[in-house]
Every structure is written in structure tokens, then in C-alpha cells.
Chain A
Amino acid sequence: MKKIIFLLLLTQTALAQVTYERILRAENEPANWLTYSGNYQGHRFSPLKQINTANVAALKPVWMYQMRDPGKVATSPIVVDGILYVTEKPHVVTALDGKTGRPLWSYRRPVPPDIRGCCGQPNRGLAILDDTLFLGTMDSRLVALDMRTGKPRWEVTIADYKLGHSITVAPLALKDKVIVGIAGGEFGIRGFLDAYDAKTGKLCWRLWTIPGPGEPGRETWEGDSWKTGGAPTWVTGAYDPELNLLYWGTGNPGPDWNGDDREGDNLYSDCLLAIDPDTGKLKWHFQFTPHDVHDWDANQTPALIDGTVDGRPRKLVVTANRNGFYYVLDRVTGEFLRGAPFIKQTWAKGLDAKGRPIRLPDTFPTTDGTVVYPGIGGGTNWQSPSWSPPTRLFYVMAHDGQRQTYFKNKEEYRPGELFEGGGFRNLPGDEPPGAVKALEAETGKVRWEFKTHSYVSAGLLSTAGGLVFGSSGEGHFLALDAESGKPLWRFQTGARISANPISYLVDGKQQVAIASGQTLLVFGID
């Protein structure tokens, strides 16, 4: 009998391990949400269909969890076997019982009073591997926690927060490594992407997103500007296990709005990078906005899909960029295949045969200000896109019809201070709307759009139930028909939503979770 109990315990322990193989085959266990985007391919798609177009009208709150500390929450929970692992402000990780919403443990660490950060203190969530959770912090530490108790196993400092580095990204765990990016593009950091040994926290590799002296691409920076050139890595990328390639977007060059002292294309800012995850070596890059002067980060999570372009089946990577264009690339080679604007933009005539934007004159920021579409929010940004295999549509939370006045000024780099070289201003009277847009993945053609009254900070989730979950800019969590964009259900959460939704099962029943304000809300059908 004792032996049987011991064996049972062993089996349970084995089950609780979230192995790399389990994350690889995430689609086989839709009950869980094992990585930031739900799978390595960046799809944010749930194969669950208990909640569907026919019954979504009956969706209602199951429980809410009120976080203790004020401030907007951007967390995308990890769900394993009925337990939700969420990040809260400031540096808190809590495990919640999916059935009741009751906390099981909390990990809390202090935040230094002098942390930097351009835009609040968001944290987009955790990574999990085996029985360890990985948290990035505003003071640029990577922390490994025991998933059963929240007790720390190791932590490492990856950069000096006093220079403006911070971690807001949800790390990505693959094989035996944790990949983590850095934020700080408004502080003149030199961006990088790191991989750490998941067991020990030892640095495996670092890929600088701005080449150093003697490295190819260094010539795309004037003088010493590469040292403070930004190109941060603050949103989680995607991974193709067959090609063994990691895809990760980079952010704006610094200073944001003044490119006078950094003449050149400024590689690898505003790029999609394809990286060998074993070595950190760059396989290829594609730059969306060479010599960016509008803060048009390319950090959006890319979606890896297979499709047919010009009659030929291709392995594709698709992304809707902050600069207002949608791109279809060959993910083996990085070759540009297609591109088209998905929102109103006034800065480029179009893209050339290689996907390089053909800039229009008089669109650079000036001292007196230059009005350009899109505005500072871009066509889209950190808001999670979603790819639905059944509809073969790519859904993006877009900002359409937003313009802004962009200014530049002269700014000297001072360590740890904002280094933006300008600013932006709203045009009085503008009430820019948002729009969920469904794009045909191979062409970028807009199939449908659902307009929201105002700008939306939250992302999207599509499901096999024929639904797209998203938000309005005024606090609604909502469900749209994935085929038509027709709104089928909504709930007023009472606060602005800045997070990305997920779906999973608890006791065999489908739930959908979203953080709004400082509350995590979970919805289900009785």
C-alpha cells in the first residue's frame, strides 16, 4: 500500500512538471495556458469551444481577484492544472485557485524607490518550465520561483536599473533556457536579448540588438550614437521548434524623435530578429522602419503561420507593425513577401519590393511640430494580436484615424534620464477611435473591423468557439463573432483594460480571464 501511495505521489509530481515537451504541444492540452501567447507560435488562440457563438450571450463573471496595490495591470496569466499564476504590481506573483479565485501563495519583493520606467510599471506575465516560474522585475532582475510555493530559487541582475533598464516582458522558456528581453528605449539604453539557464540562472548568451564596433551593422549608426541607441526587446516573441528559430521584435532607436545625431538605418532597431536559441546567433533580420523618428517599435508578438503566397506554400511570419503596415515574411529566410497599410498612415508612400518604406517628405518631427498618422500609439503596439487557424484570419487591435503632432528637440544623453529628443501632442478636438481588425493573413486585406469609441490598450484572443475576445477603450470586455466582427457579448469591467485575454479549463469547464484596472476577472458559463 505504501508503495502504491509513493508511486501515486511520484506520478502527481511528474504531472505537475511543465516540461518543454508539454509547451511544444500546447495545442494538445487546451485546458492549460502554458506560455505567454498560449503556444510558441505566438497565436493566442484557444482550441476550446465550450463557449461559442451560440452560447456566449450567457457568459458571466465566475470570480474576481482584487490586487492590493494600485495601478494598471497588464498580466497575462499562466494556467497549469486549474491554478492561475499572475503578476501583480509592484513585484508580486500570486497563485490563484481557478475554481474559487482564492490565493494559494504570494511572492512579494520590494521595489527600489528610484526605479525608472517611461510608462508606469507594467508586467506582462510569467514563463514556466518544469516546476519553476520566471519573473522579470522593474529593477531588471530575473527571478525563478518554485511554482508550488512561490519560494525563490535563484535570481540574477541582468542590467543596471539606474540607467533606465527594466523588465516588463513575460519571459519565454524553451528547451532548458529562459529568454528575457529588456525595456528602456526612452532612456538611451543599448538593447539586448538574453538567455539564462533555467536551472541555475547562469547567462547562456546575450544578443546585443545594436552591433558593437567591428560587427556588421555598426556602420548604420553615426559616431557613438550606437551606445545609446535603444532597440529594446520588451514584448515576448515566438519560436519555431522545427526551424529551431526564435523570433523577437526590437523597439525604437533612441533618442525617439530626433534622429539628427544617429544618421543611418540604425540596425537592429525596429526589426524582427530570427535567432538561433542555442547560441544567440542572429540568423536574419528584417527592419520595418529604418531610421525611425516616431517611436514606432516593432515589439509586437509575431505570429508563425503556414500559408500560400503567389501559389507557393510557405512558412510565414506575419505581424501588424506600430508604423501602420502589415507584413508577411518568409520565416525561413526573412524575405519580404507582402505588405500593406492596415490603418490610415501619412508618412510613407508605400513599401518597395524589399519591404522598405518609401518615405514621404516633411514627415519628420520638427521643433514646431509635424502632424502624422498614425499617432504615438501607432497602428498597434503591445496589444496581443491573435491568429485563428479555423478562420485563417489575423486579428489585430488597431488604432485607426489617430494623428499626433510630433516634435523634436536637442537632448544630451544623461545616464538614467529620459532620452527622447522630442515629444508629441494631441490635436485638440480629436477623439481617436480604436478598431479590432480581421486581416486575411496572406494579403493583409481587411475582412472586417469593429470600431471602438476610443483608443484601446488591451489585446485579443481568438477561440475555436468562433469568437474573438477583446476590449473597448472604456472598460468593456467583449466577444465578437470571429467571422463577421459582430459583437455578441460584453461586460463593463469598470476600469480601463491594459491586459491580454486567455482561456483554459477549470474542472472541465471553459473560462476566459482578463485583468482590468487592478482586478483579475474570470468569466464562464454555468
Chain B
Amino acid sequence: MTPRNYFQIVLLLLGVLLFPQTQRASSANQPAQGAQGERLFQSQCAGCHGPKGEGGSGPTLAAPLLTRATTEESLIKIIAEGIPGTEMPRSRLDREQIKQIAAFVRQLGQLPPERVPGDAARGKQIYETKGFCAQCHAINGRGGALGPDLTAIGLRRGARHLRTSLTDPEADVPKSFGVFRADASIPENFLQVRVVTNDGQRLGGVRVNEDTFSIQFRDAAGRIHSFFKSDLTELHKDWGKSQMPSYRDLLSNEELDDVVAYLITLRDAK
């Protein structure tokens, strides 16, 4: 255990010990706010976080402690401003409504947490051996770059969503987000692209960046290719496609549970 991990666990314990009392006090005082908060949650948040906050393409919120939002204030701030670099958008709801949603989210934390069957230690082993996951995914800077980085995947996705991703990778591929990019930015949707060059070469890979005149992608061997679009005769974007194999037939049900249990433990927000 590194000193930093140790420090985080101490913080986590402190949060669990201190926070439930404050949230109970605030939500008990305002039952009407909770009902309004639930309504807003269903229209604004449930799409990604699940109707009961159980998680989906967004992380579970039915947890006693939210690592990114350890205080009421930080939760409100995240709802209001979003989380840059993730799919979590800023909200344009007014402050009162955001407070109502926050109160509801805090109530979710009092529900019994979603039980994740499976053994995380076994899952880690499967990830590193027969799953070959690290060929395409990285954790803490080790592994491939053809698929999303999994260092903090437990913070970003719920268990059910992760299990579906393993058995049916194309059910919900990472989406593009951020129409209003502050700067020339790098897409994070791992879009599969195929090109044919003017001299007849056929290449493909995961898009790393694109602009009006050029495209960059990473092939299966990890090589970066960069082309001006004027040097290509064909450019195909395979929206909704994923190169990830389905693990439905490669792993048993128990093994899938184990991998999910492991992925859920990856919560290092850095």
C-alpha cells in the first residue's frame, strides 16, 4: 500500500463515519424537496445513472460515499458544473433544483448498496491472464490504448453496465461528448475508422484525433497513422462498432462476475 492509498482509505473511512449523519439530518427536514428531487433526477440523471441511482453508463450513486462528491457542496458543484473530460455535463437547472437533486442523491446513499457477486481477486487474475484485457485497456498507465482506460472505471460505470460491456461490447459503445470543446480536443469515443489511401493501402484503427483536413488513428499494433483527408480515397467511421470480443463464450458466468467485481474496485480518481 502506497502512502497515498493509505491516505485515501483514511479519508474514505472518515467520510463514511461523518457524512451519513449530516445527510440524514438534511433530508429528514425536507421530505417535499425529496419528491421534487426524485422527479428531477428521473428526467435529468436517470438516463445514465439508472432510475434508482444503481448505475449505468454513469456510475452508481447508491453508495454511502461518493468519492468525487464527499460533501453536499461538492455534490452540488458537480451537478452544476459537470466533470470536465467525462460524459457528466453541466446542468442548467437552478440552484434550488440542483439542491433538490443532491438531496435525493444523498437519500440513494442510504439504500443498501448494489450487491456485486463475484470475487475481485479472481477477477483481477482473469483480467491479467485469460481475458487478455490489458492488450487493449490500461490501468495506472500499464496496458494498451485501443479501448478506454480502466484506472477509475469503478467510478464511471455501474456493475450492470460493465457486465453488458463484457458480453455485448457493442450494446453501448463510448459516446462522443462535448459539443462545445474549449480547445482543439481529443475525442474519447474510440471510434473505429477504416481508410483507403490514394495509393490503394487499406488501414484501420481507433480514431485518436480528427479535424477538418486530417485524421489520426492507432492501429492494432499501437502504431499511430496520420493522413490528410486529401490523401484518402475512402474514410469510413464505424459508429457503434467495437473491436472488443464478446466474453459471453470465453468466460463462465462466475468468471464474468469476478471480472465485474474487480472492475468495480478500480476507483482511483487521481
Contact = CB atoms under 8 A, between A and B. Distances in A.
Contacts of A455: 179-180
B92 A423 contact: yes
B212 interface: yes
B181 A476 contact: no
A454 B181 contact: yes
Interface in A370-389: 375, 377
A420 B182 contact: no
A409 B93 contact: yes
B101 to A, nearest CB: 11
Given A475-B211, A476-B213, A490-B213, A426 B184 contact: no
A411 B94 contact: yes
B21 interface: no
B179 A402 contact: yes
A237 B176 CA distance: 37
B212 A453 contact: yes
A430 interface: yes
A322 interface: no
Contact of A409 (B97, B183, B187, B189): B97
Interface string B85-102: 001010111100100000
A432 interface: yes
A426 B92 CA distance: 12
Given A411-B94, A423-B91, A429 B211 contact: no
B175 interface: yes
A496 B92 contact: no
Nearest to B90: A423
B176 A475 contact: no
Nearest to A120: B182
A478 B211 CA distance: 13
A402 B180 CA distance: 12
A430 B183 CA distance: 17
Interface in A401-455: 402, 407, 409, 411, 417-418, 420, 422-426, 428-432, 451-455
A495 interface: yes
Q: Interface SS of chain A: helix, strand, loop or mixed?
A: loop
A507 interface: no
B158 to A, nearest CB: 16
B29 interface: no
A447 B44 CA distance: 41
A402 B179 CA distance: 9
A346 to B, nearest CB: 17
Nearest to B172: A428
B227 interface: no
Given A369-B43, A425-B89, A432 B182 contact: no
Residue among B92, B175, B210, B212 with the highest chain A CB neighbour number at 10 A: B212
A453 B211 contact: yes
Nearest to B94: A411
Contacts of A490: 213
Interface in B144-193: 175-184, 187, 189
Residue among B184, B187, B189 with the highest chain A CB neighbour number at 10 A: B184
Given A409-B94, A428-B177, A429-B239, A452 B184 contact: no
Residue among B179, B183, B239 with the highest chain A CB neighbour number at 10 A: B179
B81 to A, nearest CB: 13
A420 B92 CA distance: 8
A473 B89 CA distance: 20
Contacts of B212: 451-454, 472-474, 476, 478
Interface in A461-477: 472-476
Nearest to A426: B179
Nearest to B87: A428
B176 A495 contact: no
A390 interface: no
Contacts of A409: 93-94, 97
Given A375-B179, A472-B212, A496-B182, A422 B87 contact: no
B93 A423 contact: yes
B175 A429 contact: yes
A368 interface: yes
Nearest to B39: A367
Contacts of A495: 183-184
Given A409-B94, A453-B211, A426 B183 contact: no
Interface in B219-270: 239
B148 to A, nearest CB: 15
A426 B93 contact: no
Contacts of A367: 43
A494 interface: yes
Contacts of B187: 431
Contacts of B184: 474-475, 494-496
A426 B177 contact: yes
Given A411-B94, A475-B184, A496-B183, A368 B43 contact: yes
A431 B93 contact: no
Contacts of B211: 453-454, 472, 474-476
B215 to A, nearest CB: 9
Contacts of B239: 429
A430 B179 contact: yes
A423 B178 CA distance: 15
A487 B214 CA distance: 14
Contacts of B44: 407
B115 to A, nearest CB: 29
A423 B211 CA distance: 28
Contacts of B92: 407, 418, 420, 422-424
B260 to A, nearest CB: 23
A369 B210 CA distance: 30
A465 B237 CA distance: 37
B226 to A, nearest CB: 13
Contacts of B93: 409, 423
A496 B212 CA distance: 13
Nearest to B189: A429
A431 B183 contact: no
Contacts of A368: 43
B177 A453 contact: no
Contacts of A474: 184, 211-212
16 contacts: A367-B43, A411-B94, A417-B94, A423-B93, A426-B178, A428-B177, A429-B176, A429-B189, A430-B179, A455-B179, A472-B212, A473-B181, A474-B211, A475-B211, A490-B213, A496-B183
Closest CB pairs A-B (n = 5): A423-B92, A428-B175, A474-B211, A472-B212, A453-B212
Interface of B: 43-44, 87, 89, 91-94, 97, 175-184, 187, 189, 210-213, 239
Given A432-B179, A455-B180, A475-B211, 15 more contacts: A367-B43, A368-B43, A407-B44, A407-B92, A409-B93, A417-B94, A420-B92, A424-B92, A425-B89, A476-B212, A478-B212, A490-B213, A494-B184, A495-B184, A496-B183
